[in-house]
Every structure is written in C-alpha cells, then in structure tokens.
Structure 1
C-alpha cells in the first residue's frame, strides 16, 4: 500500500483513495467558488450594478479566501489536515445553500464572502497533505489530479449554473450547486486516508510570522508566489468578462450557451495531469515557460471576431493556465523543505489575491476599452509571468528540490 518510508506510491489503493477524495474536494471548492462567474451579467441586470461591481460576487469570495489561508494553514498543524478540510467542505456547501435565499445584493455578497472564508480550509491544506504523504515520484501526478478536480468543479459549477439559470433562475441554480457540494463533502470524508507522515502538534503562535517570512528568504519561492498572482489574475479576468462580450451582439448567446463554453475546462483537466506528469519526467524548469507561452497564444486568439476562433482561444488559454499552475504549485511543495503548509498557503494567498484584485480590475479595462482592453491587460500579465518563469529556469536548485 505504501513504500518503506510510509509515503504513498502511484498505483496503490491508498493513491486511488487519495485521488478520489481530493478530486471530490477540488470539485466542491471550485464549483462553489466559480458557479457565479457565468452569472455576472444576470446579477448586473437583476441588482442594477455594473460589470466590475457584479464581479464582487466572485472577488469577495476569493479575496476572503486568500486572507483566511494564512490563518487556516497553521491551524491544520494543530487540528490535523483532514479535520480542517472536512469542516471547510461542509461549511462552504451550507453557506452556498443560504446564499441562494438572500433577498438583497448586499446580503448575498455577505454570504459569498463567508463562503470564501469557509472554503479556505481545502486548498493550502490539500497541497501540504500531498507534499507530506506522496512519494517523490507521485507528487507531480497527484498534484495534477488535484488540479484536475479543481478544473472539473470549475467547469461543472459554471455549466450547471448557466443552464439552470435559463430554466429556473439563478437561485435554484446555486441551490443545486450547494447540494452537490454537500455530497462531495461526504465523499471526501469517507475516502481520504488519515495522515500517516504528519501528527498534529501544539503550535507556538509567536513563531508563525517567522515561518511565513522565512519562505521569502528562499531564492525561488517568491518567484513562484508571483507566478500564482499573475497567472490566476489573468485567467480569472478572461473568464469574468467573456460572458459580457458573448451575450451582446453580434453573438447574442444565451446564458446556457455561455455556461456551455466552460466545458473547455475539460482541456484544463487533461493538461494539468499531463503537464504535471511531464514536469516530473523532464523537469519543471523546461515545462513551466512553455505552458505560459501556450496561454499567451490563447489570449491572442480571443481577440478575433469569429466565435469559433474565440472559443478556440479560450481552450488554448485554459490548457496553458492549468498546465502552468500544476507545475508551479507542485514546485512550491518540493522547494519548501519545511513548513510546507505555510508555503502552500502563501502561494494560494497570491493565487486568490490575483483572482480578487486583478479579476475586478479587469472590469475597468472592459468598461473603457472593451474586449481588446481585457485581452491587452491579461496579455501583459502573462508576459510578466513568462519573464518570471525564465528567471526560475536558471535558478540554482536545492538538493531537496
């Protein structure tokens, strides 16, 4: 079941149980988080707010999630990895059900913010769990499978919410997402093996700031944190405002059709696993920058007038993003040889901070320059990310990394 050092190897029952559990966790977290993304034009119309304001239904969740990560990951050192993730999944599912009942825009935003706080228990803790429990040969594939669960959840949440909104309204759509998230929480609780290479322990809280700051003294980790901010910020901006473009003439797509576009997340599912495994075989330095170049090509394609080319651009950008994220996130787990939960939480803090800050800022570019403004903004972010990846490619490795 496990190799001699107690770690989980590819092909074992423990690996399959872990993959199933973390795929369920990723599905639940990302379905809850991103189900509102294709509904931003609906919120703008129903509540009388602009595109940037409607994006707060997503940005508040990701912003509060980002901040909470810095607190929750140290708590997992005290309470244990699995208990924190279980509590997070159940709480975020229940808050989604409550959000669907809120009568006003501001009360809805409060529930979305609380859901962001609640779901913070999964992302950084899951990365730390994999870094601790997986054998070195399995970590790339395992992280790729986790990111695949994320992409499946993001796709399903958007697709289901878009289709059900056309049929029954957005409140019913979010209610269904909440029920599915609740089912995923039960599946996670039953499937995930308890930690065998980590034991909860009292944490001297006065040392916590030092453990966070210590990661910024590493030669590579700050660059990986920057990648998270740039890549996720650009990717979320792309998806936040593509619905506004395609709902308007000359495309005039329905809400169901907008939601169906998120089926391209299947490409992200495949690329995260494939690229993550390739990084394990050929090296992260040789793979990360190539994935970012693919993302840039996709962004360029979205500036075309043809609907088919635009959708192709979304597919290519999705492949590039999930591939790059899979490589960068697994690199953090290998680069941080101590306090891995804190390193993972900083990476994801920057990841969701980029989603929140840059995703909302993209609304200004859309309002003032339309889609060319959005594509130019995202392209600039990815060019900076490419420069960072080239810096990482020549970084002197740690023996442990």
Structure 2
C-alpha cells in the first residue's frame, strides 16, 4: 500500500534509522503521550466545543449564500453584485487569517477563538439592519475578518492537544462541524426567509450562532501544551517564508484553494438555478437542498480511515474523482440527478479538505498556526474566487458554465497530486542511495 505521506516526509539523502531498543521515551514521545486521545478525559468536550465553533463559523460565513436571489430582488442588484456578500466575507477571512494566527501564537488559541466568535456574532446581530447592499457587503467583510481567528487557531489547538495518530479524526470532526453549520444555516434561513424575509432569517441565524459561541467557550478545555510565541514581525516573516518554501505545503495550499473554488462556485449559484425554470422551487425547499451537507459531515469525519486505507494521495485522488462525477451528473435536467450530483460534490469536497488540512498540521513541525493559517488563507481565497467566478460563469453560460469552471479546478487538484506522487517516488529512490 502506498505510504500515508503526501510526498515530503522523507528527508532526502537520509540514512534509515536503526531499530531502537526499549528505553525511556524521548521528549517528543512523552509530550505526545500526555495529549488527549479518543475516549480519554476531555476528548468529547474538546470535540464538541470545536464542532460547535465550526457550526457557528460556517453558518455565519455563508449566511447569505442561500438568500442571494432574495437579496438581489430586495436591493435591485444582479447575481454578481449579490455574490459579493459571500465573497467579501470569505475574502476578508483570507486576508486576516495569518495575522490572527500570529495573535494565537502569542495569546493562545482559546483566547483568539473566543474573541473572534464574540465579534462575529455581534456583527451578525447587526447585519439584518443593513440599509443597502453596499452596507451589507461591508458588514459581511467585517464579520469575515473576525471569523478568521477560528480556522487560524482550531487546527493548531488540535495539533498541540491531541495525540498525532488521532489528529486526522479530530480535525475531521471540526470540518464536520463546518458542514453542519453550512447546512443548518442555509436550511434555517431558507424556511424563515420564505415566511418573513431574508432580514429576519439572518437575525435568527445570528441568535443561533450566539448560542454556539457561548457553548464553545464553556466546553473547550484549557490548553495544556500551548507555549507562547513571539509577535515580532521578523519571526512571523521567517516562519511564513519557511512554510512557503516547503514544496509539500505549497501543494496542499493549492489543493485546498482549488477544492474550495469548486464548492464556492456550486453553492453560490445553485440557488439561482433551482429558482429558475424548469425547477422553480420555493425558497424554503431550496434551503432544504442543503441537507446534502450531512454527506460532507460523514465524509469529513471518516477522512482518517480513508487515509489509513488509501494513503493521503490516494484519498485526494478519490475526492477529486467523486467531485468530478458530481459536477457531470449535476448537468442533468432531472432534479433527483441534480441532487445526486450535489451529494457527490459535497462528499468529495469535504473529504479532500479534511485530508489536505490535516496533512498541513502533520507536516509543519514548527509554527503550526502559521502553516494552518496559510492553508486557510488559500482555502478562503478559493472560496471568494469560486463565489465570484461561479456567478460570472453562470451569467455567461448558465449552469454548464459553472460546471466547466469547476472541472478545470478539479483537474488542477489531480495534476498537483500527480506532481506530489512523482516527488515522493524520487525522494524514496534518493533515500536508498
């Protein structure tokens, strides 16, 4: 079976280590043994807390996505103009995730996540009162910037507090929270908006996010392995330069961005497609379509087992193939087949995202928050690009235009993974010389 590595875990020219006789554990092994393991004290509280943080983050971040047709009508704007209520939030998150990661290195992961959620939910309660589309876009940008502290800190927190062998599973649960947040937010806003309008829908979602944020803070255990770092710009620049100089990390960042480009495009445009003929679905039913996010919850939470069976590269190939199949099936004019296509796209995306993000945390030995922040930055740049380009492609060529753009992005994922596979083979040959 292929190695679980994605292609850079072997040091070029390294001599294979001799078997070590049983002795006192190394400092790294001792630290790993003291971390939380599945079934251990605090693991369930930690998992539930970060699951709820993921729910609040994705529910708020994409709160306007299912409401875009109503927002367009309410403000008299086009689909492209309304899509900026999504792109502004994800774009601001992409810009602020790295500074937030630096703050988490100095002040702690839990403190930054708590502050980020507090600001984001406060803005969420103001958003329903936006007087214009421009004001709504500005408020969404502020909200996205605030939310940057959660993804910037969550995976680093898990990498420090959870045993390495359980890391993929733990991060998969956090990603599963993202999928539940995205699903529940869209379903709630869809049905509430159908009865009382999009402003009331966003207000209700804001209150739900407040509850998630409070529960998160009460449940999350205090960190036991966090060591404060430096806020000096030179240190941050050196760490970022080191991560960007790692070929494996660069590939993982690109994979995350491309997967999210597909996902952002599909779910930004799908509301318009289902509103138009031949489907002509009401807003509440369109919101319920996002129940397919449950598939993402399952695929993300089982990513660890998938990697165990196929290796990381094999899991990425499978995720890319599943997403491609979903895009092609969604071209059908049959509503059941469109829904099956969405299921496949969602399953492939969340599996690929969980595998790539956990590989970043596993690969980075130092400056994990910055490594994760760079991944999240690339990921949300992909989301912002997908939302905007998907709307433009839909305006120019309808749903086939959006699908064509998505297929190009998946082709990029496959090409990058092939490059990683070849690099791994070269390293293995050099290591035996």
Q: TM-score, normalised by structure 2?
A: 0.89
Query: Hey, what's the Cα distance between the residues in 2 that align with 1:347 and 1:32?
Result: 20
Asked if 1:255 corresponds to 2:303, the answer is: no
Query: Hey, what's the Cα distance between the residues in 2 that align with 1:381 and 1:202?
Result: 37
The structural deviation recorded for 1:344 is 0.4
- Residue of structure 2 equivalent to 1:328: 356
Asked if 1:243 corresponds to 2:271, the answer is: yes
Q: Tell me the C-alpha RMSD between the 2 structures.
A: 1.6
- Residue of structure 1 equivalent to 2:234: 206
Identify which of 118, 121, 126 aligns with 1:98: 126
Q: Which moves more between the two structures, 190-199 or 250-259?
A: 190-199
Residues 81-160 of structure 1: matches in 2 within 5 Å?
81-160=109-188
- Residue of structure 2 equivalent to 1:341: 369
The structural deviation recorded for 1:276 is 2.9
- Residue of structure 2 equivalent to 1:190: 218
- Residue of structure 1 equivalent to 2:328: 300
The structural deviation recorded for 1:218 is 1.1
Asked if 1:64 corresponds to 2:95, the answer is: no
- Residue of structure 2 equivalent to 1:6: 34
Query: Hey, what's the Cα distance between the residues in 2 that align with 1:277 and 1:391?
Result: 24
In the alignment, structure 2 segments of 5+ residues that lack a partner are 1-29, 429-433
Would you say the 8 A contact 2:88–2:141 is kept in 1? yes
The aligned length equals 398
The structural deviation recorded for 1:302 is 0.6
Would you say the 8 A contact 1:286–1:393 is kept in 2? no
Rate the CA distance shift 1:4–1:213 in 2: closer, same or farther, 3 A: closer
Query: Hey, what's the Cα distance between the residues in 1 that align with 2:371 and 2:31?
Result: 26
Would you say the 8 A contact 1:6–1:196 is kept in 2? no
Is the partner of 1:251 in helix, strand or coil? coil
Query: Hey, what's the Cα distance between the residues in 2 that align with 1:232 and 1:276?
Result: 20
The structural deviation recorded for 1:283 is 2.2
Q: Give per-residue Cα distances to partners, 1:309-366, cap 9 Å, x unaligned.
A: 0010000110000001010000000011111100100001000001112320122211
Asked if 1:228 corresponds to 2:256, the answer is: yes
Q: TM-score, normalised by structure 1?
A: 0.96
Would you say the 8 A contact 1:251–1:307 is kept in 2? yes
Identify which of 45, 48, 70 aligns with 2:73: 45
Query: Hey, what's the Cα distance between the residues in 2 that align with 1:107 and 1:309?
Result: 38
Identify which of 268, 289, 297 aligns with 2:317: 289
The structural deviation recorded for 1:296 is 0.6
- Residue of structure 1 equivalent to 2:395: 367
Q: Which moves more between the two structures, 99-108 or 246-255?
A: 99-108
In the alignment, structure 1 segments of 5+ residues that lack a partner are none
Would you say the 8 A contact 1:127–1:341 is kept in 2? yes
Q: Give per-residue Cα distances to partners, 1:66-99, cap 9 Å, x unaligned.
A: 0000100011111111000001111111101101
- Residue of structure 2 equivalent to 1:26: 54
Identify which of 129, 154, 177 aligns with 2:205: 177
Query: Hey, what's the Cα distance between the residues in 1 that align with 2:232 and 2:278?
Result: 60
The structural deviation recorded for 1:3 is 8.0
Would you say the 8 A contact 1:64–1:113 is kept in 2? yes
